[in-house]
Structure 1
Amino acid sequence: MLHIKKSHFFTLTALAFATSLSLPAQADVVASVKPLGFIAAAIADGVTPVDVLLPDGASEHDYALRPSDIKRIKNADLVVWVGPEMEAFMTKPAAELPAGKNLEIAVMPEVKPLLVKGAEDDDHPDDAASQESAEAHDEEAHHHHHGEFNMHLWLSPQISKLAAVAIHGKLLELMPESKAKLDANLQRFERELADTDKHISAQLAPVSNKGYFVFHDAYTYFEKHYGLSPSGHFTVNPEIQPGAQRLHQIRTQLVEQKAVCVFAEPQFRPAVIDAVARGTQVRKGTLDPLGTNISLSQDSYVKFLSQLSGQYASCLNGA
């Protein structure tokens, strides 16, 4: 009886092994940040799993990879990220990947002409000692702020569409047998993105002339695309508190009612926002540039854009 069981076991094992050889290889996709994961999930839906490195609640500006993260990057069949000016933590592991597995959005030829300049460092602390300390901290941990361009590329519907096309192309190389499904996924993504874009344009048009302050300089692509009128930002680098002069400038504009909203972020809820807004009529809202409460799915990127639009509209409208 034991002999039969063993033979059955070996037969089943051999059968499972043979079956596994005939199946297409699974091409796991790893994205650096959640919004890139949203785009990848739309294209890879029903084809291959998508994983995100940056945990919810963490900031892309100062994340440090764990050993398990490095293993995930090495084992991935495709890694999607913006570039070293945004995710400094990705620079070394991405450099070790073969070109076919490394999709760096910022260096794509179609994306380069669409990049916009980053904000000037006009909001560093005022006194020399703080300035020196801030710059040392900046140099150590936040290299992306010293780049020429704003690298929050996933906030551009136009660039995100190009990223989707590029992900589709990479997965097609890896999994040509899934061409029909990948093609259908890309077509659906482009169609839903176009519909969502029209809806957001209509939603934000009535508030396009209302001034507001965001916590950090992340939203330029979204704001330009939808014609919004930002009054400014508290800081370029979310890890460094703005200086007294900067806060005075912002408070003056709030007192003079030149802005109707100030926006915090889920990852950054600094006391300076409450302090500057105290005693004024300005409303306080929250913008989530990473979609922390949205799960990866085929529709998650358009949900992310719609959520962000709703966050703007709600505060600017006074809802």
Structure 2
Amino acid sequence: MKGRQQADRLRLMKIRTSLHRWVCRLYPGVCAGLLVVSLPAVAAPRVVATILPLQALATGVMAGVGEPRLLVPGGASPHAYALRPSDARALDEAQVVVLIDPSFETFLARPLAALAGRAQVVRVAGIPRVRQRPVRAAGPWMVAGHGTEKRADDSAAAAPHHDTHPSHETGAFDPHLWLDPDNARHIVATLAAVLAEVDPADAALYHRNAEALDRELEKLDDRLRRDLAPVAERPFIVFHDAYQYLEARYGLNAVGAITVAPERPPGARHLAAVRERIRSGGVVCVFHEPQFPPRLVETIVAGTGVRVGVLDPLGEAGQYMAMMQTNARSLRACLAPEAGPVDTDAPG
């Protein structure tokens, strides 16, 4: 069926091209408009992306052809999502499904094979050259050693990437890998190659879009490195451990997380350890996330004088660049020394 659809699409594109040339020879002044009116639109590939950052990157690659469908809507968390009937229909009709890994989008672990058996599945965690980092333990990550402090997982984080089929629960890798713009560049290149295979008629456009997006991601990487350098050493705590790709890329000094998995509330002993880290570790800011109520963060920082900020690991539809720049502005604003406040409305 897929081969027949591709053949039909190529045949229609050839007809459109031949008719365009013929009309332009006869009526050069009106050929473009006449072609648009006279010929039916060619259906874009049916692409489904699980989360907003993947949808944003796929949207950039598909610009001028179509838009990918999103499964987990804005404001929701993939950690606690359940498929709706409309999602099942979209997966059943999809030609391409883009996800991090079934160990992250656990709502897809069982239905993916049945619902999307006819689709090309792009498992982003399995893309060559996409860097993976091991999951860290919740709470303070700093341990004493030889009179100084170091990250308990430094040696593991520095280990070379191994492309395996991981398990989020067993701590094989941290799935929030889209927060490294270099990983995003490899995702974009892979999406362009997959879409070109599914839709050969628009292959050149996918590759042009991917090349333009790659240049923008490279610029973004340089901008974030420059903007975050002044606050790189300032210690902070995050709501859940979603940001180590961002931290490692730009040398940021996160010293703990309130939770590893936000769907599981932390216990009293764990929260006490986080509060002790705030008091003893010079923590400047604790960040909550818009997908979850801020009450827990507010309770933890009460009476400490520590600032509260917001980091969003998902962003909004089609806004990967904006998400990364907004997070950088939030980090700069909350971590800036008292003597040098940051204008959070300034462009990132």
Which TM-score tier does this pair reach, normalised by the shorter chain? 0.7 to 0.9
- Partner residue in 2 for 1:49: 67
For the pair 1:120 / 2:137, whether they are aligned, the reply is: yes
Q: Quick check: 1:54–1:60 contact (8 Å CA) kept in 2? A: yes
One of 80, 101, 106 as aligned partner of 1:88: 106
5+ unaligned residues in a row in structure 2: which ranges? 1-37, 141-166, 343-348
1:170-201 CA-partner distances (Å, limit 9, x unpaired): 11012222123212211110111111111110
1:162 aligns with 2:181: no
| Deviation by residue 1:212-236 (Cα, 9 ceiling, x = unmatched) | 0000011111111111010110011
Shift of 1:99: 7.1
Matching residue within 321, 332, 348 for 1:313 = 332
1:279 corresponds in structure 2 to: 303
Contact 2:139 2:258 in 1 (8 A): no
The Cα of 1:28 is off from its aligned counterpart by 2.0
Identity of aligned residues (%): 35
Letter paired with 2:137: E
Structure 1 residue runs of 4 or more that deviate by more than 6 Å after TM superposition: none
Aligned to 1:39: 57
Q: Could you say which residue in structure 1 is the equivalent of 2:230? A: 206
Alignment partner, residue 13 of structure 1: none
Higher helix share: 1
Return the TM-score normalized by structure 1. 0.80
Asked if the contact 1:87–1:144 (Cα under 8 Å) also holds between the matched residues in 2, the reply is no
Partner Cα separation in structure 2 for residue 236 and residue 164 of structure 1: 28
Query: Is the contact made by 2:234 and 2:284 (CA closer than 8 Å) also made in structure 1?
Result: yes
Cα deviation per residue 1:105-132 (whole Å; 9 max; x = unaligned)?
1122333xx2110012569xxxxxxxxx
**Offset from partner CA, 1:251-289 (integer Å, 9 cap, x none):** 223223511000000011242311221112210001111
- Match 2:207 to one of 168, 180, 183: 183
Q: For residues 234 and 193 of structure 1, do their structure 2 counterparts lie closer, same or farther at Cα, with a shift above 3 Å needed? A: same
Over 3 Å counting, the alpha-carbon distance change for 1:248 and 1:73 in structure 2 is same
The Cα of 1:92 is off from its aligned counterpart by 2.5
TM-score, normalised via structure 2 length: 0.74
* Aligned match of 2:21: none
List aligned pairs for 1:124-143, cutoff 5 A: none
| CA RMSD after TM alignment | 2.0
Equivalent position amino acid for 2:251 in 1: G
Contact in 2 for aligned 1:263/1:286 (Cα 8 Å): yes
Distance in 2 of aligned mates of 1:301 and 1:188: 14
Q: Deviations over 1:148-190 (max 9, x none)?
A: 1100121121211111111100110122221232122111101
Residues 285 and 122 of structure 1: is their aligned pair in 2 closer, same or farther, counting only changes over 3 Å? closer
CA distance in 2, matches of 1:119, 1:233: 9
Q: Is the contact made by 1:85 and 1:147 (CA closer than 8 Å) also made in structure 2?
A: no
- Asked if the contact 1:209/1:229 (under 8 Å) is kept, the reply is yes
| Distance in 2 (alpha carbons) for counterparts of 1:187 and 1:262 | 37
Question: What's the CA shift string for 1:70-102, capped at 9, x where partnerless?
Answer: 100111221100011110111233223347621
Q: Relative to structure 2, which stretch is displaced further, 241-250 or 222-231? A: 241-250
Instruction: Please state if 1:261 is matched with 2:285.
Output: yes
Give 1:107's match in structure 2, choosing from 117, 122, 126. 126
Distance in 1, Cα, partners of 2:42 & 2:171 = 41
Task: Report the equivalent of 1:250.
Answer: 274
Measure how far apart 1:24 and its partner are.
4.1
Aligned mates of 2:139, 2:320 — CA distance in 1: 32
Q: Give the corresponding residue for 1:148.
A: 172
Q: Helix, strand or coil for the counterpart of 2:109?
A: helix
Contact 2:139–2:273 (CA under 8 A) maintained in structure 1 = no
- Paired with 1:49 and 1:245, the residues of 2 have a C-alpha distance of 46
Q: Is 1:71 equivalent to 2:89 in the alignment?
A: yes
